[in-house]
Amino acid sequence: MANDNDTTHFGFQDVPKGEKARRVADVFHSVAARYDVMNDLMSFGIHRFWKFFTTELAGVRSGARVLDIAGGTGDLAARFARQVGSEGEVVLADINASMLRVGRDRMVDRGLGHRVRCVQANAECLPFPDDHFDVVSIAFGLRNVTDKDSALASMQRVLKPGGRLLVLEFSKPRSELLSKAYDLYSFRALPFMGRLVADDADSYRYLAESIRMHPDQDTLRDMMLQAGFDRVKYHNLTGGIVALHIGYKG
């Protein structure tokens, strides 16, 4: 088990592992109120397609139990709530209280406040029973987790046998030309938009750095296999800027 003197990356910085969670929390406390607006601006609205694609491939049926980790403002949870119907269960989990508060308010605004349970939880040690959920999803959250292997193992534990995990995350563009253009956009435009819209350039500079430090498509697939998932595959979206990984619990 790692101790607080071990280091990990926070963007391009090396920080003690025990400090990363606090720093990530500070980022999301800062951006929570403008999170949805910034998502639309940064992705030109394409994030809505990425999330729609994820929920369509989740295979959620009426009456299913679904856990959305790092669910933020609830985009996926809202879709899942409509898919599972009144007999199902949807849990919106996030480690960050500010994001969870925004997510809870969004559920109420969408008329789904009674259908989605909000739980503050750490992905590395999920407070749910073994073999409980049919589907677990995490969208744009895994790169912020300190110990990704522990988080994947925790997700595998709470899934029912045959259940599936969906990891939607920024990844590595497949084209060198696209990769160079994406770097230019990420490190120049994102901090500028963050300062202009959210009065917070540093948080969006961290966003760009955290994307570059996240494992690539094949590495993440191997990590999921190591955590005990079977039949792991991934779909590159928008040229590999984003990838959706899917794995099953045997």
Known binding residues are 73, 94, 122-123
Separation between Cα atoms, residue 242 and residue 52, nearest integer Å: 13
Q: How many Cβ atoms sit within 10 Å of the Cβ of residue 97? A: 13
Question: Please, what is the end-to-end C-alpha distance for the chain in angstroms?
Answer: 26
DSSP 30-46: HHGGGHHHHHHHHHTTT
Binding residues for S-adenosyl-L-methionine: 73, 94, 122-123
Amino acid letter, 21: A
The span from the CA of 90 to the CA of 60, in Å, is 11
User: Measured between alpha carbons, how far is 73 from 79 in angstroms, rounded to an integer?
Assistant: 12
Contact predicate 118/90, CB 8 Å:
no
Contact 76, 54 (CB under 8 A): yes
> What distance in Å separates the CA atoms of residue 56 and residue 116, rounded to the nearest whole number?
19
* Among the listed residues 23, 27, 49, 47, the one whose alpha carbon sits nearest the alpha carbon of residue 37: 47
> Quick one: 103 exposed, middle or buried, by C-beta within 10 A (0-12, 13-18, 19+)?
buried
Q: Report the alpha-carbon distance of residue 188 to residue 164 in Å, rounded.
A: 37
Residue 229 CA, chain-centre distance (Å), reads 18
Task: Tell me which amino acid residue 63 is.
Answer: G
